[in-house]
Amino acid sequence: MNKLRGANYTEVTEFILVGLSYQPKSQIIFFCVLLHLYLGTIVGNIFVIMVVWKEPRLHTPMYFFLCNLSFVDLCSTTTMVPLALVNCLRDCPTITYNDCFAQMTLFVFWSITECCLLAVMAYDRFVAISNPLHYTLIMTMRACFQIAATMWISSFLLALLPVVIVPIRFCAGHNVVNHFVCEVEVVLKLVCSDTTVSEILMWIITFFVLPLPFLFILFSYIRIVVAILKIRSTAGQRKAFSTCGSHLTVVTIYYGTLISIYLKPQNKDSKDQDKITFLFYGIVIPMMNPLIYTLRNKDMIGALRKAAGKAKQVRLSV
């Protein structure tokens, strides 16, 4: 294959997105499913942010980072779902070169940020359980804002690094993306220039997204278990474990799905399965997170009942 000359030159101006499958009838079903999942994600995550914002009792580090997580889930799904919905109704769904790379960069950014958030939330639970007397001194709101700012800026720079450093080029005819979004691995397979540096950078970024935060979370939970076992009362142990239940559930589902996408052997027969897994990772999990944190959290349930009570009083007064 001939390599193109000129760092910024490309003969590809747009990509064709295959979608979930090659069957037009399945695209309509996909549209309906995707729309319902997206609406559920929007409603659920906005609900979490509004409840935490309106309830003073929830103005704590744990719920501050939970709001960050809900915001990330909102943005990550919005990065890809609206365009995917539109393309479901088109005979030849396409996306421009610039939009494709913007979508990839943003999605990598949200993914890195979510992994960092899960790690920070694990650290927050570790401090709360292992050192409860000094928790308010360590996890001050100022410290939380500094951690969040560092996390957001670092994630953005990591996501932007491959785009800025390595200009990749595509040959004419290599523009069919076998996916319903511009997924990084699928798009990179279409590159006709040397991708060695890009692949190295992607491995570095993957290290920051997968093993590093996961090992930090694992280490935090080992320390949490050790701290809980030192608690003498059974009631105290149960209470401590309950504060970690929601986060541990989210981490297990999120990393389990992420590993199944990017760390399993790739073959031709697994392409459609990879799309379903990506759908679960990119859309279903952001919809599930608010449910997990709400249904398994007494404070959130209490805030919900309080909000429902106020709404009822307003209706009766009217």
Query: What mean pLDDT comes out for the span 34-60?
Result: 90
Q: How confident is the model at residue 206 (pLDDT cuts 50, 70, 90)?
A: confident
pLDDT given at position 123: 94
Query: What mean pLDDT comes out for the span 285-306?
Result: 80
Query: What mean pLDDT comes out for the span 90-109?
Result: 85
For residue 284, being part of any structural domain is answered with: yes
For residue 129, being part of any structural domain is answered with: yes
Pick from 166, 170, 154, 152: which is nearest to 200 by CA?
166
Residue range(s) defining the domain that contains residue 31: 14-317
> Is 7's pLDDT higher than 60?
no
Query: What mean pLDDT comes out for the span 221-225?
Result: 91
Q: How confident is the model at residue 126 (pLDDT cuts 50, 70, 90)?
A: very high
For residue 1, being part of any structural domain is answered with: no
For residue 7, being part of any structural domain is answered with: no
CATH of the domain at 174: 1.20.1070.10
For residue 20, being part of any structural domain is answered with: yes
Q: Which residues contact 218 (CB under 8 A, 6 or more apart)?
A: none
Who wins on pLDDT, 3 or 198? 198
For residue 183, being part of any structural domain is answered with: yes
Cα angle 79-107-272, degrees, rounded to a multiple of 5: 90
> Is 269's pLDDT higher than 70?
no
Query: What mean pLDDT comes out for the span 254-281?
Result: 74
Cα angle 235-240-245, degrees, rounded to a multiple of 5: 120
Query: What mean pLDDT comes out for the span 154-180?
Result: 77
> Is 9's pLDDT higher than 60?
no
pLDDT given at position 69: 94
Query: What mean pLDDT comes out for the span 47-61?
Result: 88
Provide, rounded to the nearest whole percent, the portion of the chain with pLDDT above 90: 26
Q: For the chain, how far is it from start to end, CA to CA, in angstroms? A: 73
For residue 210, being part of any structural domain is answered with: yes
Tokens of 258: 């992420």
> Is 11's pLDDT higher than 90?
no
Q: How many domains does the chain have?
A: 1
Q: What gap in Å lies between CA 318 and CA 315, rounded to an integer?
A: 5
Q: What gap in Å lies between CA 200 and CA 84, rounded to an integer?
A: 29
Tokens of 154: 């670092």
> Is 251's pLDDT higher than 70?
yes
Q: What is the mean pLDDT of the chain?
A: 82
**What is the dihedral sign for C-alpha 188, 285, 118, 224?**
negative
pLDDT given at position 73: 94
Report the DSSP beta bridge partners of residue 94.
16
Least confident interval from 16-25, 26-35, 83-92: 16-25
For residue 251, being part of any structural domain is answered with: yes
Cα distances (Å, whole numbers) of residue 277 to 260, 261, 280: 8, 7, 5
Note whether 285 and 317 are within 8 A (CB): no
